Structure 1
């Protein structure tokens, strides 16, 4: 389960993440999803290495590039610095930009 501090910050913002569970990326995810978001450069590189073709590679994006294009920023890890509120706000704002981008592409 998520860290209790993250659960609390999300709950304070009207989101229940208490039952979320992480999972390993599955190669079938390339077929299931149009967009695959990496939270940091390490995972981004790993996903690119798993992509078997350019079509799959094009689906992989760094999450923060939607808010700060071409900066290749990692989502900060809130765990050690107790930055859960700050990271929540960053994720929330960037998620809005991702949604705007998807809507623009689909219309």
Structure 2
């Protein structure tokens, strides 16, 4: 990621309505705050929510913390994403495995866990869709996004 164009990052979860749009929205806000230019998107490994806005409960937690990503719409990850993005950040191991099954032969785009950029010691961002915990998920993503942004600044 050392050429002149901005780094292109894709955040991925299962349905693209809770964790990955949150990561995209948080990263957009942090990059804007710090004057860092990035190309960002999010996607899901499943197709259940294509075209839908982020989960209303996730949006409520985000709004309370000062983020607005209500304009985002869910889409499904596709093989072409491996060519479009420099780094793909999955929210959990299940999504890493799904992405690896989608990876085109010969492609070496890194797929990493989002929380690998944080300091919490956790590996996976839990899915709040059924069990709740939207505020906790937001905090985990914020902390990892700060670490990711710091790493990107070092690499530029």
TM-score tier (shorter): 0.7 to 0.9
For 1:63, the equivalent position in structure 2 comes to 114
Count residues in correspondence: 103
Structure 1 position 99 matched with structure 2 position 152? no
Query: Which of 43, 49, 60 in structure 2 is aligned with 1:8?
Result: 60
Gaps of 5+ in 2: 1-52
Alpha-carbon distance in structure 2 between the residues aligned to 1:72 and 1:82: 18
Alpha-carbon distance in structure 1 between the residues aligned to 2:89 and 2:122: 12
Alpha-carbon distance in structure 2 between the residues aligned to 1:49 and 1:105: 29
More contact order relative to length (CA 8 Å, sep ≥ 6) = 2
For 2:91, the equivalent position in structure 1 comes to 39
**Large movers: runs of 4+ above 6 Å:** none
1:83 deviates by: 0.6
Equivalent pair of 2:89/2:113 in contact (CA under 8 Å):
yes
Gaps of 5+ in 1: none
1:25-80 Cα distance to aligned partner (Å, 9 max, x none): 12221121111111110110121222222523xx21111111159x6722111223
TM (norm. structure 1) is: 0.83
Alpha-carbon distance in structure 1 between the residues aligned to 2:114 and 2:123: 8
Specify which structure has the higher proportion of helix: 1
Q: Secondary structure at the match of 1:7?
A: helix
Q: How does 1:69-80 map to 2 (within 5 A)?
A: 73-80=123-130
1:15 deviates by: 1.2
